[in-house]
Structure 1
Amino acid sequence: MKILFTINYGENKFQMVRNLGYEVIYYNEETIKNNEDINSADILVTYNPFSTLDITQMKKLKYIQTSSVGIDQIPKVEVLKRNITIANNKGGYSIPMAEWIVMSILEIYKNSMKLHKQQQNKVWKMNMDTTELSDRTIGFIGTGTIATEAAKRLEPFGVKIWGVNTNGSNKEHFDKCFSTEEMHEVFKNCDAVICTIPATKDTIGLINKDKFNLMKSGTIFMNVGRGNIVREKDLIECIDKFRGVAIDVFEEEPLSYNSPLWELKNVIITPHNSWVSDKNKERTFNMIYNNLKKYIANEPLNNIVDINKGY
């Protein structure tokens, strides 16, 4: 069975895959183009080569393993037509993203942006506008791996943790969970609301002025899920009610130089950076290796994606 990698995990890692019984070929994702060698692959391990790689020519392809969590880049029509198995990297970036969430909450409550500016300008001035995370209620829109990893890290701060999922089912590390229909309870009652859900036909534009108007004055809003879930225009209109906002994903990326978000004093902007970690490549390869081990043994794979749902 032949595997095409478009990401170079190194010869030692490739040898581990060969030892499972696979033939391994590697072509750089940035320059890949179909040829006879590529077209004979049974499995594709990749991120997004699809601007130059045409899977319609890969007649033996049965399984695509992505290093990403999102699957927007996958050629959906061809995958559905041929019933190609798709597995993603669910949970692969949840730890660094959870740390970003904790960092951003603390930055807002401790007013660190102002303190950093004072340091840059050599200003010695005590800042009394700081507060505690303790006893707050933190709400997550979504209770998947990102939210769960963040909730685990927030528990020691002595907070209550609420979550929203499709049917309101209870989840470990969450004190209370609500269904999607009950989402308004989280916006109305939480001191911080953190959006971690994927983009689907049901979630695009879900967080808008109606939701922001429910939130208490002096609260925190954060988006680390997908940019098109939040109506940025509505967020900007409601910005004065927030103690702070932290955004890592945007409706259009890169964020326009002319976006008003750059100028808002209570907004933390990071350039879709929350997932980045020096441990990502090792963690991702381990996920891929475990799935390839299962695949050759004809065992159920982890992280199989429903291409129609988008996750």
Structure 2
Amino acid sequence: MNILITGAWQQALEYTDRLKEKGHEVVFLQYEKDSLPCEYEWVEGIIGNGIFLSHSVEKFTNLRYVQLTSAGYDRVPMDYIKEKGITIHNARGVYSAPMAEYAAAGVLSLYKEQKSFLENQKKHIWDKKRNLKELCGQTVCIVGCGSVGCECAKRFQAFGCNITGVDLYETGYEAFSCMYTMDRLKEALEKADIVVLTLPLTNETRHMMNKSTFASMKAGSVIVNIARGALIKTEDLVEALEEKLFGAVLDVFEEEPLGDSPLWDMEHVIITPHNSFVGSGNNKRMSEVIINNLENV
């Protein structure tokens, strides 16, 4: 197969010879916005991330295989991919561990008032906090029970939490004590102390967290978003944080980078720059996924 590989696969050059030994022809494009090092019609397979944002998929007239280095499909014209019968794989499982660790660490940071302790450390202030919260015994509702959601469930369960899930499909993963379908989301939110969003962004899920759904959340609860920013209507989140929520752990936003927003200065809000997926094991896992998928072509 003639494969175009982009710099989105960080270890690509280390595997070029191995792919050629398997009978593939390979060309490399470091930056996906640049001109291709080959003709569009030459390409039968692509390993990349957002290449279709700069190069129309229709130009790849012989395309039959796509491997994404992202977990989400939102940068891909999926209707066209399905219509043409093009095989597509995502990076399922590659980023799940670091994202789950991030979710648990973020909630713990809020519960243990780490922001306040760090500020006191800078000022050399010795001040005990008598109102710290515990994870143990809390109900964690994970909305989106795929690979990332299951890894989150595993970690929160280890802290003694009760785990519930909301998804289109029921999972048999043992960490979930109860599963809800998406049409029962509000029912699940009413019982949760912590809500973790790990589901993809679609037309149906855009702004799913809005004034109405925030109204269903418990007073004093926490929301974590490690999926896509547009799952949450930002202005409604700000209002909910001011009126009833304990806090939020936010790695993704409707507009990135986050501009002038009241979220920056809220006491119980943790903001990170779309960074939750980063982990020291990512490159190894990504390369294993790519190679394994190609061996089954």
Per the shorter chain, which TM-score range? over 0.9
* Structure 2 unmatched ranges of 5 or more: none
Residue identity opposite 2:68 in structure 1: T
Matches of 2:219 and 2:57, distance apart in 1: 51
Matches of 1:128 and 1:156, distance apart in 2: 24
Higher-RCO chain (CA-CA 8 Å, sequence separation at least 6):
1
What corresponds to 1:254 in structure 2? 257
Equivalent of 1:244, from 244, 247, 255? 247
Residue identity opposite 1:159 in structure 2: C
Equivalent of 2:99, from 94, 97, 100? 97
RMSD: 1.9
Is it true that 1:3 corresponds to 2:22 in the alignment?
no
Matches of 1:167 and 1:290, distance apart in 2: 26
Q: Which TM-score applies when normalising by structure 1? A: 0.88
What corresponds to 1:151 in structure 2? 153
Matches of 1:104 and 1:89, distance apart in 2: 24
Say if 1:4 and 1:38, in contact at 8 Å, map to a contact too: no
Deviates more, 1:39-48 or 1:82-91: 82-91
Say if 1:223 and 1:249, in contact at 8 Å, map to a contact too: yes
Say if 2:29 and 2:37, in contact at 8 Å, map to a contact too: no
Is it true that 1:231 corresponds to 2:233 in the alignment?
yes
1:169-212 Cα deviation digits (max 9, x unpaired): 54331111111122122211111111111111111111111121
The within-5 A match list for 1:125-140 is 125-140=127-142
CA 1:31–1:252: 2 relative to 1, 3 Å: closer
Matches of 2:168 and 2:33, distance apart in 1: 41
Matches of 2:195 and 2:80, distance apart in 1: 38
CA 1:206–1:146: 2 relative to 1, 3 Å: same
Matches of 2:272 and 2:293, distance apart in 1: 32
Say if 1:2 and 1:23, in contact at 8 Å, map to a contact too: yes
1:128-148 Cα deviation digits (max 9, x unpaired): 121211111111111111110
Matches of 1:52 and 1:179, distance apart in 2: 37
Instruction: Give the 3-state SS of the residue equivalent to 1:265 in structure 2.
Output: coil
CA 1:82–1:112: 2 relative to 1, 3 Å: same
Matches of 2:183 and 2:78, distance apart in 1: 29
Instruction: Give the 3-state SS of the residue equivalent to 1:50 in structure 2.
Output: helix
What corresponds to 1:184 in structure 2? 186
Say if 1:111 and 1:129, in contact at 8 Å, map to a contact too: no
Deviates more, 1:283-292 or 1:160-169: 160-169
Matches of 1:201 and 1:48, distance apart in 2: 19
Instruction: Give the 3-state SS of the residue equivalent to 1:194 in structure 2.
Output: strand
Matches of 2:216 and 2:79, distance apart in 1: 40
- Tell me how far 1:51 sits from its aligned partner: 4.3
Residue identity opposite 1:110 in structure 2: K
Matches of 2:207 and 2:5, distance apart in 1: 35
Matches of 1:11 and 1:36, distance apart in 2: 17
Q: Which TM-score applies when normalising by structure 2? A: 0.92
CA 1:181–1:85: 2 relative to 1, 3 Å: same
- Tell me how far 1:57 sits from its aligned partner: 3.2
Instruction: Give the 3-state SS of the residue equivalent to 1:199 in structure 2.
Output: coil
Matches of 1:64 and 1:106, distance apart in 2: 38
What corresponds to 1:19 in structure 2? 21
Residue identity opposite 2:250 in structure 1: I
1:31-85 Cα deviation digits (max 9, x unpaired): 5313545541211111122344344333222111110112222244653553322
Instruction: Give the 3-state SS of the residue equivalent to 1:117 in structure 2.
Output: helix
Say if 1:169 and 1:179, in contact at 8 Å, map to a contact too: no
Matches of 2:227 and 2:145, distance apart in 1: 12
- Tell me how far 1:30 sits from its aligned partner: 4.3
- Tell me how far 1:89 sits from its aligned partner: 1.0
Matches of 2:54 and 2:284, distance apart in 1: 27
Residue identity opposite 1:124 in structure 2: W
Matches of 1:193 and 1:31, distance apart in 2: 37
What corresponds to 1:72 in structure 2? 74
Say if 2:27 and 2:37, in contact at 8 Å, map to a contact too: no
Deviates more, 1:239-248 or 1:259-268: 239-248
* Structure 1 unmatched ranges of 5 or more: 296-311
